[in-house]
C-alpha cells in the first residue's frame, strides 16, 4: 500500500470520529441551599446549581451557546485550555472578549485538543464564587490507561452571602476596620462535603479518579 495513501486513511479516520457537541446554557439566578446552612441566590445554568459536568472526547468541538439572562455582563472561560489559534474563544471577559451583555447570546467553539480534567466558569467579577462553574472533561480518544470505572470529584468553596453584598461591606467608606471574616463551606461534587455520599470502591477493580479544584477564594 502506498505510504501516502495509508497516512491519508489514518488522518481521515481521526476526522470522521470527531464530533460537534452542541450545548445550550441559559444563565439565570437560582435559589439554592447547597451548603445545607443558608438559603441564598446563585448564578445557575438551565435552572440548576450545581451546574452538571460537561463531557466531550478528544478531537471533538464543543459548541456552547450561552444566553445571558442575568442583569450584568458575563462570559464563560474554559480553564486550562490553550486555544491555539483561537484565543478569541477563551472567554476571559475584558481580556479576549467583551462580556456578553444582559439579554444577549454568544456561541463558543471549544476544540478539545487536550485530553484531561478542566472546568468551565464565568469570568466576570463574582461569577465563579456565586456558582457559575462546572467540570469540563475531555476524554482521551485512545486512553493510555486501562481501568474499569471513572470517578469524578470536584471541590468548591461556598460563601453564605453573594459576592456583591460582601464586597459592599468590605468597601463601605464609613466602616471602622475590616469586617468580620466570612468563612466558606467546602463543597464536594456540588454539596456540603459533610453530606456527600461515600464513594463505593469494589476490591479488584481499577479506577481512574479525576479531581478538580474549582475554588474561588474571593474573600
pLDDT of residue 95: 87
pLDDT at 66: 97
pTM listed for this prediction: 0.85
pLDDT given at position 6: 47
Question: Smallest Cα–Cα separation from 26: which of 78, 110, 126, 102?
Answer: 102
Complete edge-to-edge strand list for the sheet that includes strand 40-45: 40-45, 20-32, 61-68, 105-111
CA distance 81 to 214: 15
Is the pLDDT at 185 greater than 60, yes or no?
Answer: yes
Q: What local confidence, expressed as pLDDT, does residue 189 receive?
A: 93
Identify whether the C-beta of residue 60 lies closer than 8 Å to the C-beta of residue 81.
no
pLDDT band at 12 (very low <50, low <70, confident <90, very high): very low
Q: Is the pLDDT of residue 36 over 50?
A: yes
> Which has more pLDDT, 217 or 102?
102
N-to-C CA span, the chain: 64
Res 1: pLDDT? 52
**Other Cβ atoms closer than 10 A to 36:** 10
38: its cell numbers? 443558608
What percentage of the chain carries pLDDT values higher than 90?
59
Sheet hosting strand 133-139, strand order edge to edge: 54-57, 133-139, 116-122, 76-79
Q: Which of 74-78, 119-123, 195-199, 214-218 has the lowest mean pLDDT?
A: 214-218
For residue 134, the SS3 value is strand
Q: Could you report the per-residue pLDDT of 130-146, keeping only the tens digit for each?
A: 999 999 999 999 888 89
Bin 170: left if φ > 0, else alpha if -120 < ψ < 50, else beta.
Answer: alpha
Confidence of residue 7 (pLDDT cuts 50, 70, 90): low
CB 135 within 8 A of CB 51: no
DSSP readout, 144-204?
Answer: SS--SEEEEEEEEEE-SS-HHHHHHHHH-TT-SSPPPP-PPEEEETTEEGGGPPPP---TT
Contacts (Cβ under 8 Å, ≥6 apart) of 75: 66, 91, 92, 93, 97, 99, 100, 106, 122, 123, 124
Q: Which of 40-44, 109-113, 152-156, 167-171 has the lowest mean pLDDT?
A: 167-171
pLDDT confidence of residue 143:
85
* pLDDT at residue 5 greater than cutoff 60: no
35 neighbors 187 (Cβ within 8 angstroms): yes
When pLDDT is averaged across residues 63-89 and rounded to a whole number, the result is 92
Calculate mean pLDDT across residues 50-78.
96
The answer, yes or no, to whether residue 166 has pLDDT greater than 90, is no
Whether residue 4 has pLDDT greater than 60: no
pLDDT for 71 beyond 50: yes
Secondary structure of residue 16 in the 3-state scheme: helix
The CA distance from 197 to 88, in Å, is 40
Amino acid at each position: 500500500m502506498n505510504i501516502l495513501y495509508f497516512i491519508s486513511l489514518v488522518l481521515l479516520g481521526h476526522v470522521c470520529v470527531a464530533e460537534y457537541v452542541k450545548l445550550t446554557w441559559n444563565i439565570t439566578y437560582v435559589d439554592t441551599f447547597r451548603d445545607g446552612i443558608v438559603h441564598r441566590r446563585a448564578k445557575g445554568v438551565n435552572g440548576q446549581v450545581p451546574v452538571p459536568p460537561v463531557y466531550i472526547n478528544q478531537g471533538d468541538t464543543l459548541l456552547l451557546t450561552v444566553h445571558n439572562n442575568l442583569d450584568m455582563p458575563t462570559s464563560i472561560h474554559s480553564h486550562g485550555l490553550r486555544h491555539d489559534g483561537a484565543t478569541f474563544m477563551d472567554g476571559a471577559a475584558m481580556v479576549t472578549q467583551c462580556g456578553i451583555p444582559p439579554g444577549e447570546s454568544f456561541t463558543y467553539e471549544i476544540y478539545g485538543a487536550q485530553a484531561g480534567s478542566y472546568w468551565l466558569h464565568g469570568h466576570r467579577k463574582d461569577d465563579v464564587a456565586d456558582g457559575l462553574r462546572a467540570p469540563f472533561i475531555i476524554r482521551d480518544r485512545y486512553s493510555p490507561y486501562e481501568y474499569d470505572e471513572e470517578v469524578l470529584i470536584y471541590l468548591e468553596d461556598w460563601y453564605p452571602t453573594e459576592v456583591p453584598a460582601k464586597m459592599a461591606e468590605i468597601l463601605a467608606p464609613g466602616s471602622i476596620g475590616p469586617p468580620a471574616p466570612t468563612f466558606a463551606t467546602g463543597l464536594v461534587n456540588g454539596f456540603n462535603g459533610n453530606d456527600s455520599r461515600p464513594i463505593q470502591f469494589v476490591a479488584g477493580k481499577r479506577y481512574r479518579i479525576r479531581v478538580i479544584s474549582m475554588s474561588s477564594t474571593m474573600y
